[in-house]
Amino acid sequence: MISIEKYSAEKAHLIHALSVTPEQAQFTVDNIGEMIPELKESEHPYVIMKGDQPVGFFLLDIGYAEKFSFCPEDGIGIRALLIDRNLQGQGIARDALKLLPQYVGQVYPQVNSLYLTVNCRNEPAYRCYLSSGFTDTAELYLGGPVGPQHIMMTPVCGRG
């Protein structure tokens, strides 16, 4: 069963071992262990669990609207999503992303929407987000480090 947990130091050695393929590294974080100490206060790390095993990672960025004009003030961003290279293709990301709107509604009751950007060349991730309930806003973010990115969003639900 897939679940979402706040990042904890107790499982850090397992989480830091998660990796992506060299081709995917241009689109997401490729060294969680180096990134964690550098996080800003607005960047909240989360772990995707399959049973009691960490299988993925992402950030919820509560300061996303301050950084990106396409995100409304009551929205937050999803960043640095990854599923371990050995576990991809099993629907783990899709299942976790489907849980996220309700999870966010309970943990961040002031939030009404989730936003993300996905590189236009990252077709597998784009399809995953669509199948998880995200909508393409039909706008592109042009400030990405490796080219234009689709802007996607989904509403938050499940308050309290």
Tens-place pLDDT, residues 9-60:
887 888 877 777 667 655 666 677 778 889 999 999 999 999 999 999 999 9
The pLDDT score that the predictor gives to residue 26 is 56
Q: Contact at 8 Å (CB) between 68 and 141?
A: yes
Listed by start position, the domains of the chain span: 2-155
- SS3 state at 38: helix
Mean pLDDT of 107-136: 95
Percent of the chain with pLDDT over 70: 91
Sorted by sequence, the CB contacts under 8 Å of residue 105 that are 6+ apart come out as: 111, 156, 157, 158, 159
Quick one: 2-155 is in which CATH superfamily?
A: Gcn5-related N-acetyltransferase (GNAT) (3.40.630.30)
Can you tell me the distance from the alpha carbon of 2 to that of 140, in angstroms, rounded to the nearest whole number?
31
